[in-house]
Structure 1
Amino acid sequence: MTKEINNQPFVTKTKALIDELKAVCASYGLGNDGNEFKIISQIFLYKFLNDKFAYEVKKLKPELAKSENWEADIAKMKEGDYSMLQFQLGEATAFLKPHHLIGYLFDRQNEPDFAKTVDDTLLDIAILNNDLFAVKTEDGQKIQLFDRLTEYVSSKRDGFAVALFNKLVVFNFENIMGEGFDFFSTIFEYLIKDYNSDAGGKYAEYYTPHAVSKIIANILVPEPTSNVTIYDPSAGSGTLLMNLAHAIGPEKCTVYSQDISQKSSNLLRLNLVLNNLVHSIENVIQGNTMTDPYHKKDNKLRQFDYVVSNPPFKLDFSDDVDTLNKKENKARFFAGIPNVPAKKKESMSIYTLFLQHIIYSLKEGTGKAAIVVPTGFITAQSGIEKTIRQKIVESKMLAGVVSMPSNIFATTGTNVSIVFLDAANKGDVVLIDASNLGTTVKEGKNQKTVLTDEEEDQIISTFIKKEAKDDFSVVVSYDAIKAKNYSLSAGQYFEVKIEYIDISVDDFEAQMSGFNSKLNILFAESKELEKDIQDNLKALRYD
């Protein structure tokens, strides 16, 4: 609790910086503009990298921490000594030259073409750090750190650049570099909250709710582990990956990802930087996982220790059906390719492809996974959905299922469940019905269900301990699941309980007599009512 209180001033100040940067964009005509996201996310990242560099350099050279103008002092270093800093800093810190620093640029804000100077500086930083900080596309192209940000403004570019830098210099990330995941996940969520309305309002594309992420991470990693790979084939902004990496430890895992959205991939890169996972940026791939899966080992698709995913449920993939049906994909898509709806192609159940891809990507014998699916998947009586369930049951790689409350995602009415896979689980399976948990709150124009910490912990503890609780959870065998047509719905396994009470013959006859009397009265009232209705109908005919 004490840590939360100490963090709050930093949280407030960081959120205020984000708000002020957005206000600058709005005053220069970029409010709610698609380019605002690029400016805010990149200038925020630049500020963080600048302060991270300052923080690490001052640890190496404590005298700089005491300097009134450390930027000026570091600029006086001999070129060879300065170059040595790059090796001393390590790969987690972007290397900046003296003329890249915010303080240096701030002092030149009144010079002509200041906007061009800022843009040139950002590109120079991107090129200098391209090997470590660039996101790759599926065909090997590199998406660098920064764009020419002021060019998104149609006029008064110098004034815009000055306004941004006036906000940057009054805030310092150095004081909070020691903060952990809880702090930076809060900041990241706040940073992107206004940019989740793209793609038809599909909030889940960029951010998976905290409750879902926490439950997945804690169930997948109940005990310490190390030197593992974690993967998300539909990574979005990386919320699931960050929670999982936090549960394992950033230094104990390597992140792999792929996502078709360039915007999401850039957000994920920012998330990795904030959460000490810079070493995994090289594994962030922007591309179509279904048609062109990137991550391979020994010319085969790579298999991972942990896979997490909140895939798109429905999407128009009709143009890719021929590619998906190719011979080389038959083993991966063992249950088949979903049909393309004739009248509504965007309703193609694309999540079933991601499920099959994840099963194929799990490390044999030890791999674990958690996938968010529409709840309808767990009871479908036929088709691809049932074939997939049959595969994971008969292969004995199912750990369990948690059916979440409705509206756990604020912008979709689709009920969701989380399917947990575990290639090592040859014993019983736990099924949880958490649909009655949570409290409904208003989020914008939408209703959202929020779980308390206690409710989240209840789900996690019940799953890990494999506990059976009345009307909440059951523990069943693989054979029992087969007998129920491979249903993974907890409710279908709950016992129907009949309460028996002792009663004497006299009491029984008295109760039956009372029931008969009430029935006779009800029948009499019914006949009277029927007669009244008939009389009224006759009267209406004559009228």
Structure 2
Amino acid sequence: MTTALQFEKQTKALIDDLKSVCANYGLGNDGNEFKIITQVFLYKFLNDKFVHEVKQLDPKIAEAKDWEKALRAYSPEDYEMLTMQMSESTANLHPDQLISSLFDRQNEAKFADIFDATLLDIAKQNSSIFSVVTEGGEKIVLFENISKYVTDKRDEFCKAIINKLVHFSFENIFHQKFDFYATIFEYLIKDYNTNSGGKYAEYFTPHAVAKIMARCLVHGEVSDVICYDPSAGSGTLLMNLAHEIGEDKCTVYSQDISQKSSNLLRLNLILNDLVHSIPNIVKGNTILEPYHKDKNGRLQQFDYIVSNPPFKLDFSDFSADLDTKENHDRFFAGVPNVPKTKKESMAIYLMFLQHIMYSLKDTGKAAIVVPTGFITAQSGIDKKIRERMVESKMLAGVVSMPSNIFATTGTNVSVIFLDKQNKGDVVLIDASKLGTTVKDGKNQKTVLSHEEEDHIINTFNNKIAVDDFSVVVSYDEIKAKNYSLSAGQYFEVKIEYTDITPEEFADKMKSFESNLANLFADSKTLETEIQNNLKGLKYE
């Protein structure tokens, strides 16, 4: 087994152990289990990162038999100097806040209070770097009182947690790359796939889709750019985009109405060395109250935007509030009407699409997941949006994905790619026939192989026309097809001609005539039987 696989196995085992502790104290599959698991995991990660960096900065501590004793021997001034040398992505901890210190104190009275107070103090002293803000300016700090979710035996619960943490170390894992942390993050949240009836897709976009979006957006060397997701969920799309650009070459911005999503995204940023972007993570309603603005108070514009917005949602409570003078340019195609029944079917993704188009710089690029029905709708807001994409020459292409690429929804999806500098041809890809169907719990899921992912990416980036798979069309051709963005509508109809003799032609025609005569006879017999049956029913 490779070292990376060993670390992956050990890390997943830690997550399983933490879930086991929760189950033993009555929190298995409880809504609060998610909060405990993610916060404890984060505490462990930040603890080990701090210890790792201390050892890197001071070889004496790294070589000491008892590194914690050596650390405690620092004078307050020297300790402050040590912490000032640390990277900004490392949380500042005191020796008493280390997991090893809590392990030594586990038999003290009211240990749960000691445990909770330690987490709250860490959150407070690191608030300026690690807090997520709300649109109202409130700070959501790193940690809360963990033990409050346990109704009985709080001290024993916290002891059990500490005993699971102390025998595992992240120190050998910090050199691991993006794919490792993406796998760990997915494993960490896989059991928490609902939120007030919501779906896992709300928080997690399949890596195949995220990778295709990132690699079709980013070409060549890119630096000093700002990336944005107005409906970020857990941040899978942003993580893939930042990784493709280079985590040190971009700054991430996001907004999402769900506090759960914002906490997941913060965890994802910490795991993926994007701590510098945490202050830009906002919990709030992007459509009603977009948060990110420039120094003149106008909505901020971005170099790259990625999004997998909710497709349908009841936003009737605030839809009327969107009809303002300030919003006329942003929502140029209009706001969906509130249906008399099934308000939850309101197409909120159309609002996100318009918001994204408005939020792109003149050189900006975007990739947005939409229901495939959007690309061919014959009228309404959908068509107006497509018209704007074509008329303003900002459409780069479309990739229609296989069905069930998202295990939690039967809706077929496509990815719209925008590029405000694309004044040339547009590439349309029909990837619906790709992939292998696998079982995913109770659902069926389509999985793309790495070769299929590369096929889509190479076809898109190189604008290649492939029979029954992709077409390269001009903006004028799209206008002529009523602004349809479905690749299939541009495929050439192929007619195969076969040479036959006059005798063979006559035989074929006789065969057709004979078949037709038989079909008409069968039809007459059926008609007679139906009439007789109807007469019988009438007399009864």
**Which category describes the TM-score, using the shorter chain as reference length?**
over 0.9
Secondary structure at the residue paired with 1:200? Answer: coil
Deviations 1:493-542 (A, max 9, x none): 11111111222333323333343344445555666676777788889999
Q: Report the Cα distance in structure 2 between the residues aligned to 1:469 and 1:199, rounded to whole angstroms.
A: 44
Q: Give the structure 2 partner of residue 309 of structure 1.
A: 307
Matching residue of 2:477: 480
Q: Indicate which of 487, 494, 497 corresponds to 1:497.
A: 494
- Where do residues 408-487 of structure 1 align in structure 2 (5 Å cutoff)? 408-487=405-484
1:69 and 2:61 are equivalent in the alignment: no
> Are 1:156 and 2:153 matched, yes or no?
yes
RMSD: 1.8
* Cα 1:76–1:516 shift into 2, 3 Å: same
Instruction: Indicate if the aligned counterparts of 1:71 and 1:101 stay in contact, CA closer than 8 A.
Output: no
Corresponding position: 1:189 with 2:186: yes
Provide the residue aligned with 1:38 in structure 2. 35
**Corresponding residue to 2:386 among 386, 389, 400:** 389
Does residue 238 in structure 1 map to residue 253 in structure 2? no
Give the alignment's TM-score, normalised by structure 2: 0.96
Distance 1:506 1:400, change over 3 A: same
Q: Which digits, 9 at most, give the CA deviation of each residue in 1:53-104, with x for residues without a partner?
A: 1111111112222223211210111111110122211211111111111111
* CA spacing shift, 1:362–1:541, aligned 2, 3 Å: closer
**Structure 1: runs of 5 or more not aligned:** none
Instruction: State the Cα deviation string for residues 305-327 of structure 1 (Å, max 9, x = none).
Output: 00000001111111112321121
The Cα offsets for residues 335-379 of structure 1, whole Å up to 9 and x where unpaired, read as: 111111111211111111100100000011x10000011111111
Q: 1:272 to 1:517 in 2, by over 3 A?
A: same
Map of 2:373 onto structure 1? 376
Q: For 2:190, what is the secondary structure of its paired residue?
A: helix
Relative to structure 1, is the Cα distance of residues 255 and 536 closer, same or farther in structure 2, using a 3 angstrom cutoff?
Answer: closer
Alignment of 1:523-538 (within 5 A): 523=520
The yes-or-no answer on 1:112 pairing with 2:85 is: no
| CA-CA distance at 1:43 after TM superposition | 0.5
Q: What does residue 99 of structure 1 align with? A: 96
Q: 1:9 aligns with which of 6, 19, 24?
A: 6
Match of 1:352 among 350, 354, 374: 350
Separation in structure 2 between the aligned mates of residue 525 and residue 284 of structure 1, nearest angstrom: 70
4+ residue stretches of structure 1 with deviation over 6 A?
Answer: 528-543
- Counterpart pick for 1:177 among 153, 169, 174: 174
* Residue identity matched to 1:190: Y
Which of 54, 58, 62 aligns to 1:57? It is: 54
Higher mean C-alpha deviation, range 6-15 or range 232-241: 6-15
Secondary structure of 1:349 counterpart: coil
TM-score with structure 1 setting the length: 0.96
**C-alpha separation in 2, matches of 1:367 and 1:538:** 72
Instruction: Return the offset for 1:34.
Output: 1.3
Structure 2: distance between partners of 1:7 and 1:135: 31
Distance 2:319 2:523 in 1: 62
- What whole-Å deviation, never above 9, does each CA across 1:177-207 have from its counterpart, x for those lacking one? 0001000000000000111122324111111
Once residues 478 and 528 of structure 1 are traced to their aligned partners in structure 2, the CA distance between those partners, rounded to angstroms, is: 55
Give the match for residue 285 of structure 1: 282
% identity of equivalent residues: 68
Question: Which structure 2 segments of 5+ residues have no match?
Answer: none
Of residues 257, 279, 285, the one that matches 1:260 is: 257
Q: Residue type matched to 2:250 in 1?
A: C
